[in-house]
Amino acid sequence: MGNHAISFREVRKTYPDGTTAVDDLTLDVPEGSLTVFVGPSGCGKTTSLRMINRMVEPTAGTVEVNGQDVSTVPEAQLRRSMGYVMQASGLLPHRTVVENISTVPRLLGQSKRAARERAEELLETIGLDRGLGGRYPSQLSGGQQQRVGVARALAADPPVLLMDEPFSAVDPVVRADLQRELLDLKQRLNKTIVFVTHDMDEAVLLGDRVAVFARGGRLAQYASPEKILREPADQFVSDFVGRDRGFRALSFDTHDIPLSGVLTVDGQGHTAEVGGPAGVTDWVLEVNSAGQPVGWVTSTQSAEITDQAHRVGGSLHHPGGSLRSALDAALSSPSGLAVAVDDDGRLLGVLRPQDVLEAIDKVRESRQ
């Protein structure tokens, strides 16, 4: 990531009523990165984003895209060279999905047929059925509309994608899907993405770099998500990042944790030790015929497992995964033991909470 796709140089925006929305912003967005602007409402995130494509003009300072001052590029040309996705997908209600996606390619002179083919291809890229292309936006769910909004922004294959709270209007499950797909798209399409959100979790999940804005349009910190969680620049960032930042920072740590053995029982009542000799515990892990964990039973139940309701297990840990996943697997397990599985979901053994804590301690010491 040597080059900067977008640079803000001492940029200020004061609206005519005297509101300073952005105050002396200097920041570089590396090419091919996903940079998140995050902060509480009204701190200038959207204004900053819109100064990149000249929907808003700065009062002072310059914004450059690929080294060129955007104020020297005609607005229409600039906007067509960047995808823009907003919260309420912004689709034209009286145009079909395919027509919506084709708008910019058509403006750029593509034939109707080529634009349609590209639109249908893009529907697949963003995880929608081609068959939805003939529908109108009102005939789609909120999540589908957002996906079409992303497809439309990608239609002219712009190197830069600007996204303003694109997933905030959909429910958490759809949102998690959209976030996963955005990360996947970013990998496949190698775009420079600037993404606005007020949700720190979303920023940490998506961002290669995160810019935390404070009230009054001040840039409080610009760093990797890990750095922001671990070393917030000031009290404002610390408060904004929230209470669980120590736990969340464990997402960035990995460490080999020794596996311990566990007693298992299958549906026929056969027992076995997996991962080594089982430690002393009342808990037995039920597995299915493929060796995948099903749930926990207590040793007194295990003899008559088929008739007994087992306790649902916690989250699963994959060796090589983060310490956060290991700790969560232990904390969410009825037995207190984290269940480790391979890529096919087959039981490998368990992690004892004390071993997870020891690994956390080692990583902490190695950082000092």
For ligand ATP, the binding residues (CB under 6 A) are 15, 17, 19, 21, 39, 41-47, 198
If the CB atoms of residues 43 and 151 are measured against ligand ATP, the closer one turns out to be 43
End-to-end CA distance of the chain: 28
How far apart CA 277 and CA 269 sit, in angstroms, is 19
- Name the minimum Å distance from CB 146 to ligand ATP: 17
Output the CA torsion sign for 97, 114, 185, 219: negative
- Name the minimum Å distance from CB 208 to ligand ATP: 21
If the CB atoms of residues 17 and 365 are measured against ligand ATP, the closer one turns out to be 17
Q: Choose among 269, 290, 270, 282: nearest CA to 337.
A: 282
If the CB atoms of residues 131 and 216 are measured against ligand ATP, the closer one turns out to be 216
Cβ-contact 329, 312 below 8 angstroms: no
Neighbours of 304 (CB within 10 A): 10
If the CB atoms of residues 38 and 154 are measured against ligand ATP, the closer one turns out to be 38
- Name the minimum Å distance from CB 190 to ligand ATP: 27
- Name the minimum Å distance from CB 148 to ligand ATP: 22
- Name the minimum Å distance from CB 43 to ligand ATP: 4
If the CB atoms of residues 213 and 296 are measured against ligand ATP, the closer one turns out to be 213
- Name the minimum Å distance from CB 212 to ligand ATP: 11
If the CB atoms of residues 47 and 100 are measured against ligand ATP, the closer one turns out to be 47
